[in-house]
Every structure is written in C-alpha cells, then in structure tokens.
Amino acid sequence: MKDEESKKPTPPPQRNIKIEFDEQMAQGVYTNLTMINHNETEFVFDFIYVQPNQPKAKVRSRVIMNPKHTRRFLAALERNFGMYEKKFGPVKKNPTAPPKDSGEGELVH
C-alpha cells in the first residue's frame, strides 16, 4: 500500500505572488465596448471606449491570452458574475445591442 501512495503525483507547491500596480494602472480605465478576436494560439481582447454621439472610438487596452488561460479566465468570470448576481440581483441583458459576429471575432457592446 505504501508503494501505491508513493507513486501518486505530488501537487505543485502553491506560490504567493506579490502583485504591484503603479498609480496610473491602479486607477483603471472605463470601457463600454469589447472586440474579441482569436486564432489557433491566442485570444485578443480590445477594450474600447465609445463616447456618445462621436464617430470615433479609442482602444483603451489590449489583452492577449493563450486559449488555456482564456478558459480559466472565462470560468473565473462566470463564478464571479454568479456571485455578483446572487448579491445584487440579475443583470438584465441589453436587447438593443446584440453582439456582432463577423465570423472572425465578436463585438460586445
């Protein structure tokens, strides 16, 4: 029995990561539009601010993730959104702004 226990893989040790923000990054940025594109090796998230009644919009941040990390990010977002709705109530969907799917990516407004 001890031989079987010694053959079990040892889980990797947990690391404590100290995360630092400079002052500007800690302020965050507001966005109201997200463009999502992907290829075989990565997902690209462009976070955009569209000012009302203006013909132009500006990308405020671009985040690039590999598919495995994107899957973990999606799971964490779903868990956190569930906790948010449990505490504050359901968030209504915006029927006037459906996502645009061009076949190559998605625009979420």
Q: What is the pLDDT of residues 6-34, one digit of tens each?
A: 677 777 778 898 999 899 999 999 999 99
Taking 60 as the threshold, does the pLDDT of residue 101 lie above it? no
Q: What is the pLDDT of residues 32-63, one digit of tens each?
A: 999 999 999 999 999 999 998 998 999 999 99
- Looking at residue 33, its pLDDT comes to 94
- Looking at residue 13, its pLDDT comes to 78
Taking 60 as the threshold, does the pLDDT of residue 72 lie above it? yes
| CA distances (Å), origin 79, targets 40, 57, 72, 74 | 26, 30, 11, 9
User: Both tokens of residue 34?
Assistant: 């997200």
Interatomic CA distance for residues 67 and 71, integer angstroms: 6
